[in-house]
Amino acid sequence: MYPGDLYYSETHQWARVEEGVATVGITNYAQEQLGDVVYVELPQPDEDVTRGEPLGSVESVKAVADVNSPVSGRVAEANTALDDAPEKINQSPYDDGWLAKIELSDPAEIRSLMSAQEYVQLLQQLGEEKTG
């Protein structure tokens, strides 16, 4: 459920890094918590983003949530297909539902993100906190 080739943030974003560019989006857990996504605010190409700061937002029938960037850099591309089909975030959060591609300004930041295994452990802790 949580691809092993991705890096994860504590705020439920993911990053897939290839040749100095991180494709980013929200995790399956995040989209499940939001419910049906009806609108996405994407960053603009050439916009600078900072790790931990909002790069856009996702609006669902339940709430509006900021999407924090898991990495710092410059936006190379935004997934404009989401303008007409924001539900792709629900249907395919790790493939068609990506939000932006970011040229990394500090590739070492990736080391501060979690592996899939570490992220699953975080989710287990969150589940225990909700029920315990």
In whole angstroms, what is the distance from residue 30 CA to residue 27 CA? 5
In whole angstroms, what is the distance from residue 125 CA to residue 92 CA? 25
Predicted local confidence at residue 132, as pLDDT: 42
Mean pLDDT value across the chain: 95
Predicted local confidence at residue 1, as pLDDT: 76
CATH, domain range 7-131: 2.40.50.100
Encode pLDDT of 78-131 as tens digits.
999 999 999 999 999 999 999 999 999 999 999 999 999 999 999 999 887 654
Q: At 132, which helix (H) or strand (E)? A: none
Count of CB atoms situated within 10 Å of the CB of 77: 15
Encode pLDDT of 107-118 as tens digits.
999 999 999 999
In whole angstroms, what is the distance from residue 51 CA to residue 95 CA? 21
Cα-Cα-Cα-Cα torsion 115, 120, 125, 127, nearest 10 degrees, comes to 150
Query: Do residues 122 and 44 lie in contact, with contact meaning Cβ atoms separated by under 8 Å?
Result: no
Task: Report the percent of the chain where pLDDT is more than 70.
Answer: 97
